[in-house]
């Protein structure tokens, strides 16, 4: 069982694995995803149905059929609408946030409590905590992995994705989620890789240490034979805000009845976002959908010339617990805006994107790189992530001494 600092990470229970390609793999499941016989508390017990779930979500059932041992449910930011997971400690940087909303899954991996995990990602909720906790996380193509049995937040953006301490295990989990041959998603050594670097990302505000790690990764990839190509995605500048508006509008619709009945029962940060949401048919949300169409068209053209995009997962060092706003490249910025600035865009257009540890800052905090691929290009994304993992000396082991 976890020691005291980790009790908020997981709710453990007995599970007997079946023979299969994931036999012996201990998996944690974000407490937004149904696990048979276990309450789904959503990080907000006061809003959740406390009764045990009658059946597994499809994604959980598929992991069980592949032999995984479902050993824990993991903490989430309330209703998966946030990027902190305040009840969870970051094992690699205890004074800094674990990220969210799948913070419990990332922290449990970093602490060695589980070997693999499931998270959900609507604006970065797999990739952000993976970057914060120094693990691997993959946001899948919209609709690729079933969300049946997963509490919705924003249905046109919600995805389920695998997380692990290494890219190879992440690929094994994905194969099981898709019920494919165990080697179907293996990140085999890539052929000549064409890496795109958005000009908009080059011009964006980044902490100097994050930019340095990014440039080091790009230089190392080029030295290993990859082509590094600047690409122009004009709609990228507006896409993070656009995703936030669609997300807020759909989340307000998802929780409309409960919010109208008892808004005071919602955690303060979630309540603030739901109250500020524009209606789904409002001009700002219609404009956001136009940005989605523009960026989708631009990406389709760009992916004719490149295989993946590579950017920092986060523009900043991992924020200290309780600090908001943060300073990024000399500018004050709300934590939620800063942390989702590099991830939101890819939910808006539904493409796959993963985060892999690539370095550390001057205090030893993880710095993650994000790899973005074309629709249904998970195999290419995983190959590029495996290359970065190899070039950067990964995978990272669990934190020594964090489990008793």
Structure-derived torsion over alpha carbons of residues 29, 35, 37, 42, reported in degrees to the nearest 10: 70
Contact criterion met (CB below 8 Å) for 86 and 42: no
Contact criterion met (CB below 8 Å) for 38 and 52: yes
- Parse the chain into domains and list their residue ranges: 4-391
**What pLDDT was estimated at residue 19?**
73
Residue-wise pLDDT tens digits, 160-173: 999 999 999 999 99
pLDDT in 10s for each residue of the chain, 404 residues: 333 444 456 666 655 556 789 999 999 999 999 999 999 999 999 999 999 999 999 999 999 999 999 999 999 999 999 999 999 999 999 999 999 999 999 999 999 999 999 999 999 999 999 999 999 999 999 999 999 999 999 999 999 999 999 999 999 999 999 998 766 677 665 678 999 999 999 999 999 999 999 999 999 999 999 999 999 999 999 999 999 999 999 999 999 999 999 999 999 999 999 999 999 999 999 999 999 999 999 999 999 999 999 999 999 999 999 999 999 999 999 999 999 999 999 999 999 999 999 999 999 999 999 999 999 999 999 999 999 999 999 999 999 876 54
Residue-wise pLDDT tens digits, 54-72: 999 999 999 999 999 999 9
Contact criterion met (CB below 8 Å) for 403 and 111: yes
Query: Could you give the CA distance from residue 99 to residue 339 in angstroms, rounded to a whole number?
Result: 9
Please provide the average confidence, as pLDDT, over all residues in the chain: 94
Concerning whether 93 is annotated as a catalytic residue, the answer is no
Instruction: Kindly tell me the sign of the dihedral angle through the C-alpha atoms of 140, 142, 144, 146.
Output: positive
Tokens of 63: 């992991």
Contact criterion met (CB below 8 Å) for 366 and 319: no
Alpha-helix residue ranges (DSSP H) falling in 123-278: 127-133, 167-177, 199-203, 208-223, 236-254, 256-261, 268-276
pTM for this model (two decimals): 0.94
Minimal CA–CA distance to 318: which of 364, 371, 354, 356?
Answer: 364
Residue-wise pLDDT tens digits, 91-141: 999 999 999 999 999 999 999 999 999 999 999 999 999 999 999 999 999
Residue-wise pLDDT tens digits, 201-228: 999 999 999 999 999 999 999 999 999 9
Alpha-helix residue ranges (DSSP H) falling in 75-161: 103-110, 127-133
Which listed residue (105, 120, 125, 345) is catalytic?
125
Residues facing 27 on adjacent strands: 70, 116
Minimal CA–CA distance to 176: which of 269, 61, 86?
Answer: 61
| 8 contacts: CB under 8 Å, gap ≥ 6 | 75, 87, 88, 89, 104
Concerning whether 212 is annotated as a catalytic residue, the answer is no
In this structure, which topology does domain 4-391 adopt according to CATH? Amidase signature (AS) enzymes (3.90.1300)
Concerning whether 125 is annotated as a catalytic residue, the answer is yes
Tokens of 187: 């990140």
């Amino acid at each position: 069982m976890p020691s005291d600092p980790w009790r908020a990470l997981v709710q453990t229970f007995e599970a007997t694995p079946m023979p299969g390609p994931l036999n012996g793999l201990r998996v944690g499941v974000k407490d937004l995803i149904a696990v048979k016989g276990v309450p789904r508390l959503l990080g907000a017990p006061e809003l959740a149905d406390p009764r045990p779930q009658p059946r597994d979500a499809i994604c959980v059932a598929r992991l069980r059929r592949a032999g995984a041992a479902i050993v824990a449910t993991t903490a989430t930011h309330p209703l998966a609408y946030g990027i902190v997971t305040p009840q969870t400690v970051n094992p690699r940087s205890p004074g800094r946030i674990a990220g969210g909303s799948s913070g419990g899954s990332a922290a449990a991996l970093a602490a060695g409590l589980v070997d693999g995990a499931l998270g959900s990602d609507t604006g970065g909720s797999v990739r952000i905590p993976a970057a914060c906790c120094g693990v691997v996380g993959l946001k899948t193509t919209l609709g690729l992995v079933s969300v049946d049995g997963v509490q919705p937040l924003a249905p046109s953006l919600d995805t389920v994705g695998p997380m692990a301490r290494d890219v190879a295990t992440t690929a094994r989990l994905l194969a099981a989620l898709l019920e494919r041959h165990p080697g179907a998603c293996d990140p085999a050594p890539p052929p000549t890789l064409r890496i795109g670097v958005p000009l908009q990302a080059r011009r964006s505000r980044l902490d100097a240490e994050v930019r340095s790690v990014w440039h080091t990764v790009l230089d190392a990839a080029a030295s290993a034979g990859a082509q590094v190509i600047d690409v122009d995605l004009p709609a990228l500048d507006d896409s993070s805000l656009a995703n936030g508006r669609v997300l807020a509008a759909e989340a307000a619709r998802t929780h409309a009845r409960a919010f109208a009945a008892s808004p005071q029962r919602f955690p303060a940060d979630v309540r603030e976002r739901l109250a500020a949401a524009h209606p789904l048919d409002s001009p700002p949300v219609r404009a956001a959908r136009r940005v989605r169409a523009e960026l989708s068209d631009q990406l389709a053209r760009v992916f004719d010339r490149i295989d993946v995009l590579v950017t920092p997962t986060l523009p900043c060092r991992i924020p200290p617990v309780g600090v908001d706003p943060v300073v990024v490249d000399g500018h004050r910025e709300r934590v939620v805006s800063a942390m989702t600035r590099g991830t939101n865009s890819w939910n808006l257009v539904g493409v796959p994107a993963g985060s892999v540890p690539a370095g550390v800052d001057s205090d030893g905090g993880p710095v993650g790189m994000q790899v973005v691929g074309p629709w249904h290009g998970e195999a290419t994304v995983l190959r590029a992530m495996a290359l970065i993992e190899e070039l950067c000396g990964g995978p990272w082991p669990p934190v020594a001494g964090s489990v008793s």
